[in-house]
């Protein structure tokens, strides 16, 4: 593998690409924030992904460049944005994000090093709902992990900066990902496998709305687990370790399966409930470091940290199981054809 591969481009020209689908209500906040940057981008491109509302008109009224496509998903929309962009540096954010005023400045700062081709920023939220605040603590836990790495392999598209030449070199995002779910993970893994250097800047901040209810959070995590398994099919080594996923999260997810198994086994062997209880206690014990982090950040939320970890593990486990079955079905269909 090539390490620290550099891309020779002229610095300075900045394009921001925002994919948008039925985003007329959230897009104004994003575009207003982008238009009031300490380092203004040279162009803001909104790719309307076949919206059925006034997304395109809202973007045009704000002065953004609007590119339209039929509804194909954010991966294809970002690729189209890169194709139309004039910038040497391409920044991505989402229509429901509001970048801080120095976001562009912070995103491009690490790119003064020609060895660096990609930069990941960070989420914050102004929400006060319990689940949203816990979700933010979850992100902060991952940011702590990222900051311990001089080089990362994961750049989320909600706050991302890349050299355009590198994106074009690997063929951009994989449009076979139809939703805003893990397509950026796949892109990051491919960039890292090509030897391109990616880094994290915690000061490059966008504000975002996390799921505000337990139901929405669980649904999101189930889909995250499913599509992450799709990514692992193409990048199997990353299933063991990456710069973004805490190893304890994988252990917690795996613990769910034997807990369910032994609970089911109690139908014929009642004493199996003891094993299930022990495993559940291990799951709770593994949540202690996260609970401490939550207590230090927001002490009133600590009581919810343990159920949060349990629900997260369960949701990931269901999504992973669905992803595994999906891969088996896909492989069986491929062998029949």
253 and 192 within one domain: no
Beta bridge partners of 18: 46
Mean pLDDT of 89-114: 96
124 and 20 within one domain: yes
User: Quick check: is 154 in a domain?
Assistant: yes
pLDDT tens for 67-86 read 999 999 999 999 999 999 99
C-alpha distance across the termini of the chain, in Å: 34
Q: What confidence tier does 4 reach under pLDDT thresholds 50, 70, 90?
A: very low
**Two tokens, residue 114:** 């020609």
How far apart are the C-alpha atoms of 291 and 21, rounded to whole Å?
36
262 and 179 within one domain: no
The pTM score is 0.89
21 and 97 within one domain: yes
Of all residues in the chain, the percent with pLDDT exceeding 90 is 83
Beta bridge partners of 122: 205
pLDDT reading at 337 higher than 60: no
User: Quick check: is 195 in a domain?
Assistant: yes
Q: What confidence tier does 253 reach under pLDDT thresholds 50, 70, 90?
A: very high
115 and 19 within one domain: yes
Mean pLDDT of 294-305: 90
pLDDT reading at 331 higher than 90: no
325 and 184 within one domain: no
How far apart are the C-alpha atoms of 241 and 260, rounded to whole Å?
25
User: Quick check: is 226 in a domain?
Assistant: no
Task: Out of 212, 233, 258, pick the residue that ends a domain.
Answer: 212
pLDDT reading at 332 higher than 70: no
Mean pLDDT of 95-123: 96
Backbone angles phi, psi at 148, to 5 degrees: -85, 0
Q: What is the number of domains present in the chain?
A: 2
User: Quick check: is 205 in a domain?
Assistant: yes
User: Quick check: is 39 in a domain?
Assistant: yes
31 and 128 within one domain: yes
- pLDDT for the residue numbered 209: 93
Task: Out of 212, 239, 269, pick the residue that ends a domain.
Answer: 212
- pLDDT for the residue numbered 299: 85
Q: What is the mean pLDDT of the chain?
A: 91
User: Quick check: is 64 in a domain?
Assistant: yes
- Residue range of the domain that includes 272: 247-336
What totals of helices (H) and strands (E) does the chain contain, helices first? 12, 8
User: Quick check: is 229 in a domain?
Assistant: no
183 and 275 within one domain: no
281 and 204 within one domain: no
pLDDT reading at 131 higher than 90: yes
Structural Rg of the chain based on CA atoms: 21
- pLDDT for the residue numbered 254: 96
305 and 199 within one domain: no
Q: Which one, of 132, 138, 124, 42, lies nearest residue 91 by Cα?
A: 42
Q: Classify 119 as helix, strand or coil.
A: strand
49 and 164 within one domain: yes
Q: Are the CB atoms for 85 and 44 separated by under 8 Å?
A: no
Beta bridge partners of 66: 46
Q: Does 242 or 19 have the greater pLDDT score?
A: 19
User: Quick check: is 144 in a domain?
Assistant: yes
- pLDDT for the residue numbered 2: 35
pLDDT tens for 216-235 read 999 999 999 999 998 998 89
Q: Which of 4-13, 162-171, 180-189, 254-263 has the lowest mean pLDDT?
A: 4-13
Run of H or E residues at 46: strand 43-49
162 and 35 within one domain: yes
Which CATH number characterizes residue 206's domain? Answer: 3.90.550.10
Mean pLDDT of 139-164: 95
**Two tokens, residue 200:** 């994290």
Task: Out of 159, 189, 212, pick the residue that ends a domain.
Answer: 212
- pLDDT for the residue numbered 330: 57
């Amino acid at each position: 593998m090539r390490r620290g591969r550099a891309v020779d481009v002229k610095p300075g020209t900045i394009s921001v690409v925002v994919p948008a689908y039925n985003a007329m209500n959230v897009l104004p906040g994003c575009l207003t924030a982008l238009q009031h940057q300490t380092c203004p981008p040279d162009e803001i491109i909104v790719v309307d992904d076949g919206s059925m509302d006034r997304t395109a008109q809202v973007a045009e009224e704000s002065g953004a460049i609007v590119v339209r496509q039929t509804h194909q998903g954010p991966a294809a929309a970002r690729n189209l944005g890169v194709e139309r962009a004039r910038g040497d540096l391409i920044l991505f954010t989402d229509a429901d994000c509001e970048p801080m005023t120095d976001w562009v400045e912070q995103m491009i700062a690490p790119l003064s090093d020609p060895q660096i081709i990609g930069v990941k920023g960070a989420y914050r939220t102004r929400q006060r709902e319990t689940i949203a605040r816990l979700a933010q603590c979850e992100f902060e836990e991952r940011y702590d992990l990222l900051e311990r790495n001089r080089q990362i392999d994961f750049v989320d598209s909600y706050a991302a900066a890349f050299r355009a030449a590198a994106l074009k070199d690997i063929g951009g995002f994989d449009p076979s990902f139809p939703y805003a779910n893990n397509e950026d993970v796949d892109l990051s893994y491919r960039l890292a496998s090509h030897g391109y250097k990616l880094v994290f800047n915690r000061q490059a901040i966008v504000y975002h709305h996390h799921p505000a209810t337990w139901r929405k959070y669980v649904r999101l995590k189930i889909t995250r687990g499913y599509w992450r398994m799709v990514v692992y099919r193409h990048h199997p080594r990353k299933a063991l370790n990456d710069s973004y996923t805490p190893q304890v999260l994988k252990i917690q997810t795996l613990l769910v399966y034997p807990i369910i198994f032994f609970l089911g086994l109690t139908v014929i062997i009642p004493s199996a409930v003891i094993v299930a209880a022990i495993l559940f206690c291990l799951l709770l014990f593994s949540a202690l470091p996260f609970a401490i982090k939550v207590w230090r950040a927001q002490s009133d939320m600590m009581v919810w940290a343990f159920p949060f970890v349990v629900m997260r593990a369960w949701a990931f486990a269901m999504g992973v199981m669905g992803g595994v079955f999906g891969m088996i079905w896909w492989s069986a269909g491929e062998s029949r054809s």
